[in-house]
């Protein structure tokens, strides 16, 4: 597990009658070097206060010791289908209580998020695969400047009743979603691989999935915590997915995450254990020397590792006004900064902001060319990009926008040439039709 050093530790009293949840709690405490007396237990009536205290937590992030200090909240996933709005505590709340956080503290985490639905991606012009994303954790300790759960996150909120979630929630998701072969654990901004093996989440998920034919779980990480994988009982059901920046970009974007070199070393371990993995250069940040920086990264990655696929995604989801708040733009390629500034009004509501199409295409062409030098036959893709970008680069990428192998879609099990599902294609064609009809 990552070396968490939380300023405060809270736990929901609903965990106390659950032996499985308490065993996980004690493993976490042992890894953090904390006694159970360090835990502040809270009843539902105290949740508003806890949520308000979390909202007020604000370490000096310019100081030397802010990393890994987010408060940790251990709670229990509400498995009966009820929602926060049904809870009496949701009525007559004091002004200013952070509702999303209060939801999570009380265990009202969505059982899944339907990510990249055809309707939502048609509105944003994004090409991806529809999928149900899962999570039992909210928040992340990597402190990434582009993520609201990272640098600005207020807590790690961890549901400990994993067996109840599997039996009462996840089983229904599988039964209701026969077309989905692969399930990604990522919702609510969490990098859950960083909490293993103490959490024990993946061991239980994989054991559960072994009851089903042809079902798999992704772990999605920008970390290097993988030693727990070697002894998993059913690691043949596991697929790794990495987000990877160059070393220079990671220093600016991901202050608590390990270097690219350390992540690549972690991938190499999976190769030894026979666990497949895929890589996304995401988000690609055009630092001043970005060509040299990313050429070095691709050389190191592809000389050391053999990922099943390799994808590319520019910095996205960030209007230029926010982009210039979170980064020192003097450290970036000035041509990208100027292009982003010139396009900020046009890109204001664009999911692919801050850089306009032509500058993102410049990044991707370079990444494709460099990758081909080292791995000519490796399947490449662009991640959550626009239909227009696929139209321009599809021939250079070498995959169809409708049927491409990527990093974490719901239909691509282990093996570089595997696609199996009732869903036969991505949402590319749907989005093209929406553009053609003005929908």
Rounded to the nearest integer, the mean pLDDT of the chain is: 92
Q: What is the pLDDT of residue 146?
A: 77
8 A C-beta contact, residue 277 and residue 241: yes
> What parts of the chain have a pLDDT lower than 50?
none
Report pLDDT for 19: 97
Edge-first strand order for the sheet with 39-42 is 39-42, 9-12, 72-75, 156-159, 137-138
CATH of domain 111-154+162-437: 3.80.30.30
- pLDDT number for residue 435: 61
Q: What pLDDT does residue 140 have?
A: 86
CB atoms within 10 A of CB 210: 13
Q: What is the pLDDT of residue 149?
A: 67
What pLDDT score does 276 carry? 97
Whole-number pLDDT of residue 421: 76
Distance CA 25, CA 171 (A): 24
pLDDT score at 144: 78
Model-level pTM?
A: 0.94
Q: Which residues have C-beta within 8 Å of that of residue 252, sequence separation ≥ 6? A: 145, 285, 287, 327, 328, 331
Lookup: tokens for 87: 């809870």
The domains of the chain are located at: 111-154+162-437
pLDDT at res. 153: 77
Tell me, what's the pLDDT at 91? Answer: 87
């Amino acid at each position: 597990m990552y070396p968490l050093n939380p300023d405060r530790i809270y736990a929901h009293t609903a965990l106390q009658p659950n032996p499985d949840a308490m065993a996980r709690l004690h493993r976490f405490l042992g890894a953090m070097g904390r006694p159970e007396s360090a835990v502040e237990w809270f009843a539902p009536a105290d949740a508003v206060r806890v949520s308000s205290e979390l909202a007020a937590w604000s370490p000096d992030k310019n100081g030397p010791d802010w990393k890994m200090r987010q408060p940790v909240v251990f709670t229990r996933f509400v498995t009966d289908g009820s929602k926060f709005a049904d809870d009496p505590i949701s009525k007559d709340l004091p002004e200013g209580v952070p509702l999303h956080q209060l939801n999570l503290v009380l265990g009202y985490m969505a059982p899944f998020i339907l990510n990249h639905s055809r309707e939502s991606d048609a509105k944003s012009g994004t090409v991806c695969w529809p999928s149900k994303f899962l999570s039992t954790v909210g928040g992340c300790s990597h402190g990434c400047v582009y993520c609201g759960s990272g640098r600005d996150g207020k807590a790690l909120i961890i549901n400990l009743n994993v067996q109840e979630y599997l039996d009462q929630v996840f089983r229904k998701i599988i039964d209701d979603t026969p077309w989905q072969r692969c399930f990604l654990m990522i919702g609510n901004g969490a990098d859950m691989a960083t909490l293993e093996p103490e959490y024990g989440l993946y061991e239980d998920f994989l054991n559960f999935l072994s009851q089903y034919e042809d079902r798999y779980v992704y772990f999605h990480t920008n970390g290097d915590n993988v030693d727990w994988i070697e002894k998993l009982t059913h690691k043949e059901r596991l697929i790794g997915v990495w987000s990877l920046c160059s070393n220079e970009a990671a220093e600016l974007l991901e202050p608590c995450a390990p270097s690219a070199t350390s992540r690549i070393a972690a991938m190499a371990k999976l190769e030894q254990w026979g666990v497949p993995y895929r890589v996304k250069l995401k988000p690609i940040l055009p630092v001043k020397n970005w060509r040299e920086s990313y050429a070095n990264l691709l050389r190191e990655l592809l000389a050391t590792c053999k990922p099943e696929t390799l994808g590319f995604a520019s910095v996205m989801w960030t209007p230029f006004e926010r982009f210039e708040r979170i980064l020192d733009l003097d450290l970036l390629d000035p041509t990208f900064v100027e292009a982003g500034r010139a396009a900020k009004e046009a890109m204001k509501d664009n999911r692919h902001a801050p850089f306009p199409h032509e500058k993102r295409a410049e990044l991707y062409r370079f990444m494709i060319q460099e990758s081909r030098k080292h791995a000519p036959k490796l399947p490449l893709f662009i991640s959550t990009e626009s239909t227009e970008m696929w139209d321009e680069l599809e021939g250079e990428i070498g995959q169809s926008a409708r049927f491409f192998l990527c990093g974490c879609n719901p239909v691509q099990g282990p093996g570089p040439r595997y696609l199996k599902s009732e869903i036969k294609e991505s949402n590319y064609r749907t989005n093209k039709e929406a553009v053609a009809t003005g929908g």
